[in-house]
Amino acid sequence: VTLLEQNPRWRLVPRGQAVNLRCILKNSQYPWMSWYQQDLQKQLQWLFTLRSPGDKEVKSLPGADYLATRVTDTELRLQVANMSQGRTLYCTCSAVGGDQNTLYFGAGTRLSVL
Amino acid sequence: QQKVQQSPESLIVPEGGMASLNCTSSDRNVDYFWWYRQHSGKSPKMLMSIFSNGEKEEGRFTVHLNKASLHTSLHIRDSQPSDSALYLCAASSGSWQLIFGSGTQLTVMP
């Protein structure tokens, strides 16, 4: 059973342009939603965890700038800007926050730089 | 500095053999460990979790945890070609985020 729907699945991003990603939660029993990035060396890194509609956070990491928004109880968005290296962004969900929070991953959005 | 170290980086085992993967955290606050498996081109999927000292077995998969040394290991017996994947260890120290290791690439040769 699919818990998360991510789109787009792949995007070629011209250097200097921003791209908007979307994640839809299919099961409200897993309301803690997060974004993780996986770089080209397969290293996974936490970006954000947003629980409530209206929550917003920004972060700058080597190779990209991020703005995450929890739009509704079922929708999470991520804007990726100034990306210089390709990466895959995964949306995740879990039943509880903090400890013992087993993560379930979406299918991912693969971003490549043009 | 990487807080979750995995070894080996890559591992090749024959079909039917035993694969042993290791993971250690350098963060003394870590309390919980997970093992995820990621097939090529797919997203990570949770394989097993362990939160208490000792051993946990599920089918062909066994995980061990030593909380004193913050070391966990995953053992796959009777390895199958379909087990070929990237195995990721993750740890939590009570915050929202899971810290992932860089993974062990397992190849099971038919």
Read out DSSP for A61-113? Answer: ETTEEEEEEE-SSSEEEEEEES--S-EEEEEEEESSSSTT---EE---EEEEE
Least CA distance to A35: which residue of chain B? B97
Q: What is the pLDDT of residue B95?
A: 72
For residue B69, give Cα distances in angstroms to A8, B19, B63, B72, B73. 42, 21, 15, 9, 12
Confidence of residue A99 (pLDDT cuts 50, 70, 90): low
Most B CBs within 10 Å, among A6, A23, A41, A46, to test the B interface: A46
Instruction: Note whether A99 contacts B98, CB cutoff 8 Å.
Output: no
Q: What is the pLDDT of residue B24?
A: 97
CA distance A102 to chain B (A): 8
Most A CBs within 10 Å, among B40, B43, B99, to test the A interface: B43
For residue B75, give Cα distances in angstroms to A97, A109, B105. 29, 31, 14
**pLDDT tens digits, residue range A12-24?**
999 989 999 999 9
Least CA distance to B30: which residue of chain A? A99
Q: What is the pLDDT of residue A96?
A: 75
d(Cα B43, Cα A109) in Å, to the nearest integer? 10
Q: What is the pLDDT of residue A10?
A: 97
**Residue whose token pair is 């939590």:** B92
* Weakly modelled stretches of chain B, pLDDT under 50: none
The two counts, helices (H) then strands (E), for chain B are 0, 11
Q: What is the pLDDT of residue A1?
A: 78
Higher pLDDT, A98 or A32: A32
Contact A42, B43 (CB under 8 A): no
Q: What is the pLDDT of residue A100?
A: 65
Q: What is the pLDDT of residue B29?
A: 87
Higher pLDDT, A95 or B108: B108
**pLDDT tens digits, residue range A28-80?**
999 999 999 999 999 999 999 999 999 999 999 989 999 999 999 999 999 99
CA distance A95 to chain B (A): 12
